[in-house]
Amino acid sequence: MLEEGYAAVSSRRVASKAGLKPQLVHYYFRTMDDLFLALFRRRAEVGLQRQARALASAQPLRALWEYSTDPAGTALTMEFIALASHRKTIRTEIAHYAERFRAAQIEALSSLTERYGLHPDTCPPAALTVLMTSISRVIVMEQALGMSTGHAETLALVEQHLHRLEGDLKPPGTPRTPQSH
Amino acid sequence: MLEEGYAAVSSRRVASKAGLKPQLVHYYFRTMDDLFLALFRRRAEVGLQRQARALASAQPLRALWEYSTDPAGTALTMEFIALASHRKTIRTEIAHYAERFRAAQIEALSSLTERYGLHPDTCPPAALTVLMTSISRVIVMEQALGMSTGHAETLALVEQHLHRLEGDLKPPGTPRTPQSH
DNA sequence: GTCTATAGCTGGATAGAC
DNA sequence: GTCTATCCAGCTATAGAC
């Protein structure tokens, strides 16, 4: 899917990669759409857990931002969205999971608004999640195409806000305030 | 392309829509990629002109926003991007035109910064174009999937900023200040 | 579960007549 | 420019043997 797109994923090629006969693919997944659905669900469940860990970390916004700027993950997600645009059953499934991702983000960010002193009118949590998703997705997508104009300025803007809300970037194990032992 | 995706565009189907034989498609465009390239270029040139008109209007930001939230246009662009992800020649061409679109936006917005009293540090024109592109593209994409969570809040945020910078939405023919004749 | 065999379709692209 | 003819390849999916 990553190298040649969803349309290049055939039962023959999948079987060949697995060292099996193409008919076995149809034995496990009757249609190719069934295979895509199974693949998407497994990926989405793992992703939901990773996102939950990110949102529970010491710097939730930074962790979320790093998670959403992963190039390989974004590329595969875009491929699934392209597929979903033309298959109703897959579209329904993707929309369902995407709403779960977003709901978890909104819930986590809502509990941060007072801690961070965010005015709900200036930028409600729901809008913040859409903003972060949009920016990361489009920049990663454009990078994959070889574009770069405006990226540095936009990333600087994001970093500026992240810094204001969560301070410097700290490695995962580092406590927010130095502790003596 | 819109209904079934770029992978469903074949010389046979194109010819059939045109009431001709498939071989004629190969006569005019040796390969299918040549056909996609020609289609993309024609669309891009028209788009550049439309964008230029939008940026030269009385409310450039609003006009740009309306232009970039067109569902059909966005869907087709996303289809070309999906195609470009897997064909080098098409990727190069799309990146080239996308940079031209962006450059025109940045140039137009740069001349607006002082008129609108925008601080270049708060939001440089280059970042503003990336922001508007990102938000519109992702929201339109999500709407196509049937998602809606967070859209209202985000659109309200955009409208709020558009209003601050360019006032109310006025129909194209309406002058910014009432004029007597 | 894994295989062989097979039906039936769709596709890109070229050669050469007119 | 448009056609006929053609090659060769790829694909999904099912039936049925072992």
Q: What pLDDT band is residue A98 in, cutting at 50, 70 and 90?
A: very high
* A7·B3 Cβ contact <8 A: no
Residue A180: predicted pLDDT: 42
pLDDT at B120: 81
A130/B137 touch (CB, cutoff 8 Å), yes or no: no
List the single residue in B with minimal CA-CA distance to A86: B4
Asked if residue B128 has pLDDT above 90, the reply is yes
pLDDT score of B27: 95
Whole-number pLDDT of residue B168: 86
Which pLDDT tens digit goes with each residue over A104-149? 999 999 999 888 888 888 899 999 999 999 999 999 999 999 999 9
Backbone angles phi, psi at B35, to 5 degrees: -65, -45
Cβ–Cβ of B78/A79 closer than 8 Å?
A: no
With CA atoms as reference, the chain A residue closest to B85 would be A145
Which single residue is written with the structure tokens 């979903």? Answer: A84
Half-sphere exposure of A48 (CA within 13 A, CB side): 15
Number of H helices, E strands in chain A: 8, 0
Q: Is the C-beta atom of A27 closer than 7 angstroms to strand C?
A: yes
Let me know: does A96 contact A83? Beta carbons within 8 Å. Answer: no
Under 8 Å between Cβ of A54 and A64: yes
**Residues B59-113 pLDDT 10s:** 999 999 999 999 999 999 999 999 999 999 999 999 999 999 999 999 999 999 8
Q: Which helix (H) or strand (E) holds A27?
A: helix A22-28
Whole-prediction pTM value?
A: 0.93
User: What pLDDT was estimated at residue A175?
Assistant: 57
Nucleotides of D under 7 A from a protein CB: 1-5, 10-16
B8 by Cβ neighbours in 10 Å (0-12 / 13-18 / 19+) ranks as exposed
According to the model, what pLDDT value does residue B117 have? 85
pLDDT in tens, A8-40: 999 999 999 999 999 999 999 999 999 999 999
**Residue entry with tokens 């392309």:** B1
**What does the pLDDT read at residue B121?**
82
